[in-house]
Structure formats: structure tokens, C-alpha cells
Structure 1
Amino acid sequence: MENFVMLAYLRQRKQLVPASCITLAFTIFSCMWLLAAKASAIAVIVDGETQFLVASRQEVLQTLTQMEIDKEGQVGFDLEMGNEVEFKEVFALSSKLVRAEQLAALLEQKVDFNAVATTIMVNGQAVVSLVNEDEARQLVEQFKGEFGSVDQGEKLIQLGFEEQVEVVEERVALDQICTREQAYDLIKTGTLNPEKYIVQEGDNLWLIARRNDTYVDEIKKSNNLTSENLSLGQELIVVKTKPLLTVVAQVEGEKVEAIPYETQVVVDASAPATVRVREQGSDGEKKITYQAVKKNGVIAEREITSEEILKNPVARVLVKGNQVVQVASRGSSGISKGVLDWPVYGPISQYYRGGHPAIDITGKTGTSLRASGSGYVVSAGWNGGYGNCVVIDHGNGYSTRYAHCNSLNVSVGQKVSRGQVIATLGSTGRSTGPHCHFEVMYNGSTVNPLSVLK
């Protein structure tokens, strides 16, 4: 029995030997075919990640070198690659390899070139980078110098920045380097990316410029406008001016300022219901010495250290009929043509027109500005491009605005009388020189001041 089992086992083994040989031969053949199909290749690794395969690392190195030379020729200064490129030997099918003529385009997407540049830091934050240190330092000094000039009779005591400003060398991406002109614009305006504004009902270029703290000419230039005509829904590019640096100038000065005259009212029971001027009045003069702090050319603080009276003011005398009604007081019947007084007398440098809903009355800094009518002060203080500004509500929908004031004599909520000194003429905010920007508004819309002034 045992001999029979052994015989059966041997017969089975003889049948299995040919099958095993066939399997072994197929496996060896497959391995040989795969080895023959695959070839030695180079994996290109950028910043730790495998990007593609090539036949030779030398092709990659030559292409990178040529790219660097070409870019340096375009920008005019030395560059260095900003990525870590490594190579690893692998086996790969030839169909998976990147061809030499494809390398430049592929590497352009995978690697960046940096420059050793000079960066201007403001309060520890990088704001702009330039090619070299000299250019960066010159730009900082140029900006400082723009606001370092003094007015007549002033002496500059100290000039510097409100912020901490540093110039440091660092490696930055090529697309982060600005020209000197771009860098200066960025520091001066605060942005290279202008915002957009949609024209609304009642808008004009002057109002849009005021709201966005910019100039009419800047808006026209940015939008290639040949006129000041706008259409509802029109999209405009505006640039909000928010300097990245604040130049602080400490000055001492001496000047002659006006002493505002007072207004006296005499009631004449026998006179008709009109108002006439018996005495025009005139401002006095005083010589003052002062210390002031200017920020980007605008007075932020001023302290008078001494003053001397040169000429006393002469009071303005008004004669009122017994039945005169104060047209401009609250609860009155409103303002009619010719009943508002001039806030100040002087040449008109800008008339009421499209884009400028006011008249600009020029004069000397410090000249008294007077309320055109009785009413209540609804706004008094700094108002962006308007500078120091006062707004008076005269009742029945009418109000007046006095902008670019040198100083303010009233506060919000205060009741003022017609002819009362409310401020002094100046050139604060967005102003090209000393003047009073005078607006008259009815129910929120401006009207020509000349149609309501006496």
C-alpha cells in the first residue's frame, strides 16, 4: 500500500515540473523586458517636491544659468535663484522624460529669481523695495524734504518722521522691486492699486474728489476724462491719498496776524425794516511769535509764545430797523436772494461751476471769517480735504460751509449771530493758498453763493 502511494506522488511531481519551469521563465523574461524598456533618468526636485524627469542634470543646470543671464539682462542687476533645486537618479520610461526644448518653459513656472535689494521698513513693516541702498535713502530724504520747507518768517528747528524708518538689505522676489518713481508714489499715496467709485445721483468730480481725499485733476488723469461731465452709474478710478510716512517739522516763527473786529448792532426804531452798515469795521493787527508742529506740511499744533498789538481793531456797526426779522435764524421763513453777508471780502479766485460747487475768496492768512447769517454750528473741526472747516445751519434747509480755515472760533451746537467771527482764513487741507472755500447748500444740494450774497 505504501509503495502505491509513493508511486502516485512521484507521478504528480513529474507533471508539476514543466509548469514551474514555464512560470519561472516568464517571470525572468518580464523582468528583463522592463529593465530593457526603462533607462537611467534624473528626477528634478524643487523645494522638496519632485516636479519632472529629465535625461541629464546638466541640461537643467545650463537652462537655469541661461534663464538667470537673460533676466539679469532685462532688469540690469544681479539675481539669484530663490528655490532649492536637487537631483535624484531614478529609472523611468523614456516617454516620461521632459525634452530639452521644453525645459525653459517648465522651469519658468517652477522657480523664482530673487534680488538682493534694499527695503524701506516703516514701524517694522516692509513697505517697498528698491534696487540699491543709495536709491532707497535718497527717496526717504526726498520725501522728508518735500515737507521740510518753512513759511516766510519761520525757522526750522527739527525735521524727522513720526514713524520708525529703517533701510535694510534683504532678498526679495523680482516682482516686488519697484522703480524709484513707483516707490515714491507708493509712499506718498499709500497704494499702487486705485479704488473704484460708481457715480451716483447728485455727484460731480469735485464732490467725488473730496469724498475720496484726492484731486479732480488726478481723477480726470486716471480716467482719461476730457470734460467734467459724468453719467449715472459711470465707473471711475480714484486714488485715496494716505501717505505711508509722516514728516514732522518743528518750527519757530514770527508773523503779523489780524485781530478780528467785533460787530455792534444799533436798533433804530424809526428806520425801515432793513439793515445798513454805518461803519464797515476793520481788523486790527498783532505781531506774534510762536512754536508749531507740522505734519506733512499741515499745522497740527501751535503755541503762541508772545504777542504785541500793532493796531487795534475798529468795530463794525450795523443799524437795524425796529421791525427787522433775522432771516437766517431757526424757524425763519428761509433765505432769499441777497440776504446773506459775505464771510470775508476779497478777490474770487474760483467761481461756482461744475466740479466746484463754491466760490473761493482769497485773502491773508488769519483774516477774520464771519457767519453769513445767524444759525447753529453743526460741524466744526478737521474735515479731510476741507481742512479746518465750519458748517452753519441757518434753518429752512439752508446751510453754509467755510473751509480751509487757519483756526476755528466756534464749536458744534453753538448759536452764532450774523457777522460773528467764526474762524480765520487759512490754507489747511487740500488748498493751493490762503482762501475761504465758501459753499451755500439748500436741502443738501449746493447753490451758487453769488445768488444769495448781499
Structure 2
Amino acid sequence: MWFLAAKISAIAVIVDGETQFLTASRQEVLQTLSQMELDKEAQTNLDLELRNAVEFKQVFALPSRLVPAEQLEALLAQQVSFAAAAVSIRADNQTIVSLANEEEARQVLEQFKSEYGQVEEGEKLLYLAFEQQVKIVPDKVSPDQICSPEKAYELIKTGTLNPEKYVVQEGDNLWLIARRNDTYVDEIKKANNLTSENLQPGQELIVVKTKPLLTVVAQVEGEKVEAIPYETEVVVDASAPATVRVREPGSDGEKKITYQATKKNGVIAEREITSEQIIKHPVTRVLVKGKQVVQVASRGSSGISKGVLDWPVYGPISQYYRSGHPAIDITGKTGTSLRAADSGYVVSAGWSGGYGKCIVIDHGNGYSTRYAHCNSLNVSVGQKVSRGQVIATLGSTGRSTGPHCHFEVMYNGSPINPLNALK
């Protein structure tokens, strides 16, 4: 004999408009939710409230379909969540981080702003503000989304809550640290707001690539003493051997400038010189060049070309000319002057992808030279430059693991070994 099970009165539990399960008692569901909220508040030490809309509907169902009371908490934990009253920092209407209260949020913003409001010696701060439209707004968020002031500051500064850090050891420098951690000197300087490359043992550095979530714009005015690059004069001596010798080494002059600059997160974005006064005039460097020039082998077809190039900067060579690296890398200190290897016209000057700040000079005799990863550029496209003229300063921009000059020599468009052309 077959028996049909009778349906009984039951409660359908509806979460955010969707029926999730059936149970026997509405009151048991409410009590379970209340206890879950109390437990969460005890864990987080926050006042919480249910984020979901929970409704009930009287239905009839088979007893086997009802969820027992002892299983309610596990099931509800998958369906609902709790929110805490908090505040969120928004930049251009995008939430970037949430904190427990407005006081903590203001503290974090002021700390970040003041860090990039620091001025250098001889500077005065004129203006300091966020580039984005920044607001602090009341919000309801999950407890695990609320950051401490320390974590919120770290997130805004680096773009991540868990940046990798490195403790400086005796003998370390930024170039070595960048190489060990597969990053770039510029990235380390930006992440740690470093204005120089001086390090102290025990100093802690963030060594991952960072992308700050906010940008602080600072306008400053100041005065400083800068070098005036010396010019180079080449004297041709028909009786001299095919070499270049220095008759007068030359020396840079000095000038006192006043300027106004705009900085973004501590990096100069624009600078205008408002006045300058010469303190010491530069002394011209005089080179004596023999009439006959040496032969330089070019890679590929025609074999031999003639020409002598000056070194753009003197220093150790960290990378030599080889397959996949059509250049030599000459290491040095950031800010060291880079000089044109020969006279010519600037055909490219600016940012060039992995080369960073880069200059290309056409010397008009089939030769051209490239100077990459510069810190700053002193010339512009179309400008005529003389041999030995300061065209840039050595740096580490672009895909670079430390300050150096990536120096390429091209003959008729094909790279050759610079060491064959340098004197």
C-alpha cells in the first residue's frame, strides 16, 4: 500500500528577493541572525547591522524539505553578511579606502599630503592640494574592509596593502637593491619619497613597483646655484697625429637662479626659471685634433668608415656591446653631465619607452648616437649641438636597474660597437 506524505505549514526564507530555503520557524531564523550579529560584533568590536533584506513567506511543503534548526547558522552564513558604519575616502567619486571614523580619515589624508609638501633647502611652499577631488563620506562596509590608519596610509601611498620591504645593509646602494629585488631605482625612490641616493644601514625601503592612489600637487618657489656647462672648442692641427688631446680641460661655471616649480608626489612636473645671475663664467674646453682620423668598422656591408667620437661620460662599463644589447652602459652618479660625442643636430629628445628620457643626435656623416635613461634633458629637437656640449644628465629613467648612460652608435642606421668609435 502506498502512502502520500502530507504537506505541512512551513516558512520560506527570502534573501534579497530570492527564496533560499524552507524551515519550520520564522522566530528561529530571526534568533539565529541576531546571535550571528552579536558574535561578529564581539569579534570585530564594531557595531554591525545586517546588509541583506530578509523576508518570510508562509508556504506548504513536505517535511523532508525543511532545514533543521541546527543547520540554520551554517546556511545563513552563506547567504547574508553584516556591515559596519564607517567612512570612505573617495577620489573623483571612486572609493579608495575605508576607515572607522572621519577623524582617522582626515589624519591619513593630512599625513599623505604633508609628506609631499616638504620643501628643499631654499624653497618656499606656495600651494598644496590633491590633484583629484577628494571627499570623506559616511559608508556601510564589511568589517574586513575597514583599515587602520597605518594600513590606509600604506594603501594610498603604494596601491597595495602588502608592499615588499627591504632593510638596508652596510655597503648597499640603490642600484644594488634594485638589481636584487628585480625593480628600478626610480621606482624605489618614488615609493619611499627619496630626494637623494644616500642610505643608512637599518633603513627600511619599499621595493615593489608602486602606484599611489592619490596625487599631491605642490607649487614652490626657490633659489639655488646651478652649473653652467662649458663649451668645447676643437682646434685642428694638420701636423698632429690622428688623436684628440686636451689642451685646456675646461670647467663649468655657476649661476644663481630663482624659479617656480610644480611637483606631483614630490617629483618636479614643471619648472620655470624667473631670474638668473652668473656667479662664475665657464671656461671653454679646448681639444686639439689631428687632421687624419682613425678608421672605424661598421657592422654589416661596407666595412670601414672614418670617425672619432668623444666619450659622453667617463665611468665603469657595466654592460658591453653584444647580441641583444647594441650599446655600452656607462655607470655613474645621477646628475653627472652627459656630453655630445660629436657635433650634429638633435633628431629626438624626450621620453622613449624603455629608453626613458633619451636623446638621438645625427652627426651628418652617416653616424648618429643615442643617449638613454637620462635624468634630465638640456636640448630639444632641431637644436644644433657642438662636440662636448652638455646635452643631458645621467640618470635611471625607463627600464633601468641603476644610474647609467646607455650609449649607442649607429652608422647608416645600423648599430656598431661604440668602443670601436670612441677615443
Task: Assess, with a 3 A threshold, how the Cα gap between structure 1 residues 132 and 250 changes in structure 2: closer, same or farther.
Answer: same
Match for residue 405 of structure 2?
Answer: 438
Q: 1:106 maps to which residue?
A: 75
The question of 1:361 aligning with 2:328 is answered no
Distance between the aligned counterparts of 1:298 and 1:284, measured in 2?
26
Distance 1:447 1:66 in 2: 77
* Aligned partner letter, 2:215: T
Cα distance in structure 1, aligned partners of 2:297 and 2:274: 39
> Deviation of residue 73 (structure 1)?
3.1
Question: Equivalent residues in 2 for 1:308-319 (5 A)?
Answer: 308-319=277-288
Shift of the 152–352 alpha-carbon distance from structure 1 to 2, 3 Å rule, reads farther
Q: Distance in 2 between matches of 1:250 and 1:193?
A: 31
1:86 corresponds to 2:80: no
Counterparts of 1:339-354 in structure 2 under 5 Å? Answer: 341-344=310-313
TM-score normalized by the length of structure 2: 0.74
Letter in 1 for 2:269: A
Call closer, same or farther: CA 1:182–1:430 in 2, change over 3 Å.
Answer: farther
The reply to whether residue 282 of structure 1 matches residue 218 of structure 2 is no
Say which structure is richer in helix.
Answer: 1
User: How many equivalent residue pairs?
Assistant: 379
Structure 1 residue 75 corresponds to structure 2 residue 28: no
**Partner of residue 403, structure 1:** 373
1:394-415, Cα deviation, whole Å (9 max, x unpaired): 899985434343342232x656
2:135 aligns with one of 166, 185, 192: 166
- Between the aligned partners of 1:404 and 1:68, the Cα distance in structure 2 is 59
Residues 261 and 314 of structure 1 are in contact (CA less than 8 Å); yes or no, is this contact kept in structure 2?
yes
Separation of aligned partners in 2, 1:418 and 1:328: 21
Whole-angstrom CA distance in 2 between matches of 1:279 and 1:205: 39
1:421 aligned partner, one-letter code: V
Q: Where in structure 2 are the equivalents of 1:42-81 lying within 5 Å?
A: 42-81=11-50
Tell me the equivalent position of 1:242: 211
Question: What is the rounded CA distance, in whole Å, between the counterparts of 2:397 and 2:221 in structure 1?
Answer: 18
**In 2: Cα distance, 1:328 partner to 1:407 partner:** 30
Q: Cα offset for 1:40? A: 2.8
SS at match of 1:248: strand
How far off is 1:294 after superposition?
0.8
Larger radius of gyration: 1
SS at match of 1:362: coil
Q: 1:448 to 1:131 in 2, by over 3 A?
A: farther
Q: Is the 8 A contact 2:246 2:286 kept in 1?
A: yes
Q: Deviations over 1:368-387 (max 9, x none)?
A: 43123456645422457876
TM-superposition CA deviations, 1:60-86 (whole Å, max 9, x none)? 122212222222333332221100111
Identity among equivalent pairs (%): 66
Q: How does 1:258-297 map to 2 (within 5 A)?
A: 258-297=227-266
**Alpha carbons of 1:321 and 1:400: their partners in 2 closer, same or farther (altered >3 Å)?**
same
The CA distance in 1 between the partners of 2:19 and 2:154, in whole Å, is 41
Change (3 A) 1:244 1:332: farther
CA spacing shift, 1:328–1:313, aligned 2, 3 Å: farther
Change in Cα spacing, 1:417 to 1:300, as seen in structure 2 (3 Å) is: same
Q: 1:328, 1:375 within 8 Å by CA — same for their partners in 2?
A: no
Equivalent in the alignment of 1:120: 89
- 2:195 — aligned with what? none
CA contact (8 A) 1:59 1:100 kept: yes
User: TM-score with structure 1 length normalisation?
Assistant: 0.69
Identify if the C-alpha distance between structure 1 residues 250 and 59 changes in structure 2 by more than 3 Å, giving closer, same or farther: same
